[in-house]
Amino acid sequence: KAGVTQTPRYLIKTRGQQVTLSCSPISGHRSVSWYQQTPGQGLQFLFEYFSETQRNKGNFPGRFSGRQFSNSRSEMNVSTLELGDSALYLCASSLQGSNEKLFFGSGTQLSVL
Amino acid sequence: DAKTTQPTSMDCAEGRAANLPCNHSTISGNEYVYWYRQIHSQGPQYIIHGLKNNETNEMASLIITEDRKSSTLILPHATLRDTAVYYCIVRGYGSGNTGKLIFGQGTTLQVKP
């Protein structure tokens, strides 16, 4: 069974631009979560989607948004990019998103110049 | 904030057992202890989890104290490929926890030849 797939692997943007990251969960998994990892703040939870609905949300500004499609694939969008948005963005999937293990992708490394 | 405390770093000789401690003195009765690890430039990988009984799988063993205030992850025969950051996470049920893991700073385990 294929793992969690994230595209692209690397991305370079400039301040003020917007970016869209993609995540394909493991087949059959309906919950998709997004995380941001930076050297200073570590791994932080952004939000979680289940059945095309945002079900849980972390403490990030509204510039960070996401959506989930009927096939459970998910996208994350960051608008008006700031230098501080440079990070590794990780996606994780699980069957239901409840107290079960999460499977992570390899992430998208975003650099904002 | 993370509900766990871990040593910042540890060394282990290749072939020996690696014992990684974690303190979670404020854990609630329905919260599980999870362990993940992150090898450089990859997404976190699930290792093991438990509620109050000791657990073992093909990767590791988890020993939880009787009062559940601390636990130890044991890698029985560490190899160089086990060099990674190990995260101990306390996670409960509930709508506020779906898809969400709260990561601390973790323990950097260096396995040496």
- Per-residue pLDDT of A22-78, as tens digits, reads 999 999 999 999 999 999 999 999 999 999 999 999 999 999 999 999 999 999 999
Lowest average pLDDT, out of A83-87, B49-53, B66-70, B93-97, goes to B93-97
User: What is the C-alpha separation between B46 and B48, in angstroms, rounded?
Assistant: 6
Check whether B94 has a pLDDT greater than 80.
no
Task: Give A 68-97 residues with CB within 8 A of chain B.
Answer: 90, 92, 94, 97
pLDDT (tens digit, 9 = 90+) per residue, B60-80? 999 999 999 999 999 999 999
Q: What is the pLDDT of residue B41?
A: 80
Burial environment of residue B28 by CB neighbours within 10 A (0 to 12, 13 to 18, 19 or more): exposed
Q: Does B40 touch chain A (CB under 8 A)?
A: no
User: Long-range contacts for A40-43 (Cβ within 8 Å, ≥24 apart)?
Assistant: A42/B103, A42/B104, A42/B105, A43/A90, A43/B44, A43/B87, A43/B101, A43/B103
| Residues in B touching A35 (Cβ below 8 Å) | 101
Contact A48 B100 (CB under 8 A): yes
Please tell me which of the candidates B49, B87, B98 has its beta carbon nearest to residue A50: B98
User: What is the C-alpha separation between A61 and A67, in angstroms, rounded?
Assistant: 16
For residue B26, give the DSSP letter. T
Mean pLDDT of all residues in chain B? 94
Read off the pLDDT band of A105 (50, 70, 90).
Answer: very high
3-state class (DSSP) for residue B96: helix
Q: Does A98 touch chain B (CB under 8 A)?
A: yes
Which string of DSSP letters, residue by residue, matches B30-62? T-EEEEEEE-TTS--EEEEEESSS-EE-SS-EE
Please tell me which of the candidates A49, A98, A106 has its beta carbon nearest to residue B43: A106
Task: Give B 54-113 residues with CB within 8 A of chain A.
Answer: 87, 91-93, 95-105
